[in-house]
Amino acid sequence: MSASDTGRLAPNVMHFARLLRRAGLPVGPGEVIAAAEALTHVDITDRRVMRAALQAVMLRRHEHALLFDQAFSVFWRNPDAAKFAQMLAAMDGRAPREEKAAAGARRLAEAMQAARSREQEPRPDERREVDALLSASSQERLESLDFEAMSAEEIAAAKAEIARLTLPLDERRTRRFRLAARGSRVDLKRTLRDSMRHSGEVFDIARRVPLTRPPPLVVLCDISGSMARYAQILLHFLHAIANERDRVTTFLFGTRLTNISRQLARRDPEEAFEQVAGAVPDWSGGTRIGEALGQFNRLWARRVLAQGAVVLLVTDGLDREGAVGLADNMARLHRSSRRLIWLNPLLRYDGFAPKSQGARAMLPYVDEFRPVHNLASLRSLVQALSGEAPPRLQAAALWETRQ
């Protein structure tokens, strides 16, 4: 392949990767680079060979294969073919086992339309435009709609709302002090140092007050197959928080624990999420909650859980290891934090009960047990974190009173 051919192909590979991400597939910068490199070694005039090369480096999960094939067929036939996107949007999803495929096809179709018109997701400063597009009834529906049931357009609107959420956690005293004219404590060192300028005469007494700042916030988010859709939406919430205040540490876990705080610190959301996708190898895989929490307790707890940290544990509690070591690690995590909140999307079901081994092992050690499946539940979480913390270890007792 000539250099000019490579130069024309690389942008299309990047656009294809963006289409896959918009349709819900985890594709990071590493996969984009590998895909561009792979196409330099195959005959791109043979669509079957080209599809196999891209699939080998860009597809992580077998269940995404159908959606990948649909995206490939639409994009590489003609990157601007809106009529094929409309065909995909009309797919019938009535059969239970085809529901996810149909939802994915709908998101793919809408992603194609968005790419074709070069529309960008609304930014935080575009609230007036977003509000104009949403009537009161549609706004109410958006608030209550499950993230997993949202179309690509609804997800974009939800992300715009999430970007505007703020998290004013209560400030706590630290061990540091700052100067204050009416401080409650005398700063003896500062007073004596100032007196040296006047031959030892004390003219002013320096005073100080304790420095206050929001407590550290630590997030542990499950990215297994059953949690992947919720985790993708919650990343926008976590990105907004991480760029709004300091001392926010975020971990993702499936079969291993990954610290993504550095990636989320990037101001541009699209760039941040591309970096996250490249850093996390186990997205939409299995879950080992106990092992992940054990790794956190051993390697990170002492570093990030000081000064009254608040911990958000986001998971459905389904552990492929059968809750091995989970209770002990939950107990240690609870002791190390000031407030431990379990966010579970399964609480959206009225008849939900923590019957799995993982859920039964976790519940006795959490302070609060909350749903996290739509915008309304996120707003409720923000309100709860902004208020006074309830007594500790109340989740299990409160849950029993609901039954």
Q: Residues 4-16: pLDDT tens digits?
A: 454 567 778 888 8
Residues ≥6 apart with Cβ < 8 Å to 339: 310, 311, 367, 368, 389, 392
User: Strands 172-179 and 207-213: what pairing?
Assistant: antiparallel
**Residue 401 has what pLDDT?**
56
Quote the mean pLDDT of the chain. 77
At residue 118, does pLDDT exceed 50?
Answer: no
**Residue 178 has what pLDDT?**
64
Residue 389 or residue 222, greater confidence:
222
Q: Is 300 helix (H, G, I), strand (E, B) or coil?
A: coil
**Residue 35 has what pLDDT?**
86
What whole-number percentage of the chain has pLDDT above 90? 25
- The 10s digit of each residue's pLDDT in 316-359 is 998 887 788 999 999 999 999 999 999 999 988 877 888 889 99
Q: Is 280 helix (H, G, I), strand (E, B) or coil?
A: coil
Q: Is 312 helix (H, G, I), strand (E, B) or coil?
A: strand
Give the largest Cα separation in the chain, rounded.
90
Amino acid 314 reads: V
Rounded CA-CA distance 293/313 in Å is: 10
**Residue 350 has what pLDDT?**
78
Q: Is 202 helix (H, G, I), strand (E, B) or coil?
A: coil
Q: Which of 184, 391, 357, 214 has its CA nearest to residue 287?
A: 357
Q: Which fold has domain 217-402?
A: Rossmann fold (3.40.50)
Of 154-168, 281-295, 297-311, the poorest mean pLDDT is in 154-168
What ranges make up the beta strands (E) of 195-334?
207-213, 217-222, 248-253, 257-259, 310-314
Helix (H) or strand (E) holding 247: none
Average pLDDT, stretch 82-89? 40
Average pLDDT, stretch 230-247? 88
Residue 298 or residue 57, greater confidence:
298
**Residue 376 has what pLDDT?**
94
Are 231 and 314 spatial neighbours (Cβ–Cβ below 8 Å)?
A: yes
HEC string of 26-67?
CCCHHHHHHHHHHHCCCCCCCHHHHHHHHHHHHCCCHHHHHH
Are 366 and 334 spatial neighbours (Cβ–Cβ below 8 Å)?
A: yes
What ranges make up the beta strands (E) of 246-383?
248-253, 257-259, 310-314, 339-343, 368-370
Rounded CA-CA distance 381/234 in Å is: 12
- Residue 247 class from Cβ within 10 Å (0-12 exposed, 13-18 middle, 19+ buried)? middle
Are 395 and 339 spatial neighbours (Cβ–Cβ below 8 Å)?
A: no
Average pLDDT, stretch 155-170? 79
Average pLDDT, stretch 195-203? 65
pTM confidence score: 0.65
Highest averaged pLDDT of the listed ranges 146-150, 287-291, 305-309, 347-351: 287-291
At residue 97, does pLDDT exceed 80?
Answer: no
Task: Enumerate the domain spans of the chain.
Answer: 3-117, 124-163, 173-213, 217-402
- The 10s digit of each residue's pLDDT in 32-69 is 878 888 888 888 888 888 999 998 888 877 778 888 88
**Residue 103 has what pLDDT?**
53
Are 288 and 257 spatial neighbours (Cβ–Cβ below 8 Å)?
A: no
CA–CA–CA angle 162, 163, 165 (5° rounding): 65
